[in-house]
Amino acid sequence: MKALKMTVAAVAVAAALGGAYSFGQLQTVASAHAAPAAAVAAPSAPLPGVAAAALPDMRGIVAANAPAVVNISVSGTRKTSVGVPQLDPDDPLYQFFRRFGGQMPQGRTPVQGMGSGFIVSADGTILTNAHVVEDADEVTVKLSDKREFKARVLGADKASDVAVLKIEAKGLPTVRIGASAPTQVGEWVLAIGSPFGFESSASAGIVSAKSRTLPDGSYVPFIQTDVAVNPGNSGGPLFNMNGEVIGINSQIYSRSGGYQGLSFAIPIEVAMNVERQIVTTGKVQRGKLGVSIQEVNQSLADTFGLARPAGGLVSSVEKGGPAARAGIEPGDVIIGIDGKAVNAAGDLPAAVALKSPGETTRLQVWRKGRAQDVEVRVGSFNDEKVSAAEAPSADKGRLGVAVRPLTPEEKRRADVAAGLLVEQAGGSAAKAGIQPGDIILSVNGQPVASVDQLRSAIASAGRKAAILVERGESRIFVPVDLG
């Protein structure tokens, strides 16, 4: 088992402090020194010079919203198969198992699970996580007043991990929908859910970070918090200090499978976009550029002449895709979309996903030392290829690679017109992450098809070079310090 793993568990996260306290009063934690017993007629004032710590009173938020948070239990079955036992080819059972493609006949294993959700309309529309209702044949929703309803799954979008349920009821309590965009790191947030089945449990913390890209490859720019979240919290709401939902608790990062201080929530803007489409059309569409991007670190920023590490570096462009038709090229750094800055690579997929297919968007692109605008007609998301990939770190040293041109068969398999196969890597190339088996496609945007072209490109690159390599099915720019 890996030392670190992503564990699906609901992340109910506490809300923003931000100076606005719509619910309740601020409490103060006084000095720990006790007054003499005879003088305890009234609370003693804090000692002079000792500052009292102000904490938000979240009782009003819980009282107002707990009735709209529901417990979800699911039951169903999942297909299973058993591997074939080691049999002699002469055994009569051998041919029987071969008929099933090396597997025993598929069966069905009972599946049961639980999670949380919250009511967004008084007529019974509920939001939760898609993974909560996955493989469910029957979904039961339990309200805070103990009433239970069978729920229909109107739709479940795996890409965002958002599902929409419907129960037949009227006059239900609802949450207030807010916005995650104004939320700042350090603000208080509150989660309500059913960890381990303990219904209507509240936990609080602060926003630890925003726009987190997780290893699951999702396009969602997660809100990271330190709110205590455990299995059963999945699908529950994350509130700010105005009592508004700003996210859906979705995942935790854990060694043990339980909460260890890292919780992640889906921004409410993403969730409500999915909810609107499922309710009105029964399906979800999202925008697509057709590019692979990676984070811009300091070395890449220096190489491309950017003032600071920011934006999404285009490492490959899908043939015939929206970006290709608009003229986007590998080596472009997308630094903005429709006038809004792209500070990190993870910001771009989320912004594009909110666009409607066919909509025209304006990208701010850094190309060859200057910024320019490029208009792109957004395509339709289908197994979106926009993903954030970490670039390897670079260390000082000399370039040291043994390369050869690709054979026609290697070009066909890699789907490239030309390139150089790395057979040995040493020096600064190896330190930067280039390894045998990589295919070098370009240096600082200049295609290389021969060893002489590579030498020439490196010679004119100065102290730094951005080398585009293909590794497996991915393309990334590797920043190399040539010294």
Instruction: Note the pLDDT tens digit of each residue in 360-389.
Output: 999 999 998 999 999 999 988 753 332 333
Cα atoms found within 13 Å of the Cα of residue 109, Cβ hemisphere only: 8
What digits encode the pLDDT tens for the residues 9-18?
A: 333 333 332 3
Work out the percent of the chain whose per-residue pLDDT is above 90.
47
pLDDT per residue over 246-257, tens digit each?
Answer: 999 998 887 777
Check: CB of residue 419 under 8 Å from CB of residue 401: no
CB 479, CB 466: distance < 8 Å? yes
User: What is the spatial distance between Cα 302 and Cα 296, in angstroms, rounded to a whole number?
Assistant: 10
Per-residue pLDDT, averaged over 465-479, amounts to 89
Q: Residue 439 corresponds to which tokens in the numbers above? A: 């295919």
Q: Could you report the per-residue pLDDT of 37-78, keeping only the tens digit for each?
A: 344 344 555 555 545 557 899 999 999 999 999 999 998 866
Using pLDDT thresholds of 50, 70 and 90, give the confidence band for residue 35.
very low
Please choose, from the candidates 457, 448, 452, the residue with its C-alpha nearest in 3D space to the C-alpha of residue 420: 448
Report pLDDT for 347.
84
Domains annotated on the chain, with CATH: 1-28+53-284 (2.40.10.120), 287-389 (2.30.42.10), 399-481 (2.30.42.10)
Q: Which residues contact 364 (CB under 8 A, 6 or more apart)?
A: 334, 335, 336, 337, 339, 342, 371, 372, 373
| Selected residue with higher pLDDT from 163 and 5 | 163
Catalytic residues: 131, 161, 234
Q: Report how far residue 379's alpha carbon sits from residue 322's, in angstroms, rounded to the nearest whole number.
A: 6
CA proximity to 233, closest of 208, 213, 258, 205: 258
Strand duo 244-254 + 176-177: pairing: parallel
Give yes or no for a contact between 160 and 270, defined as CB atoms under 8 angstroms apart: yes
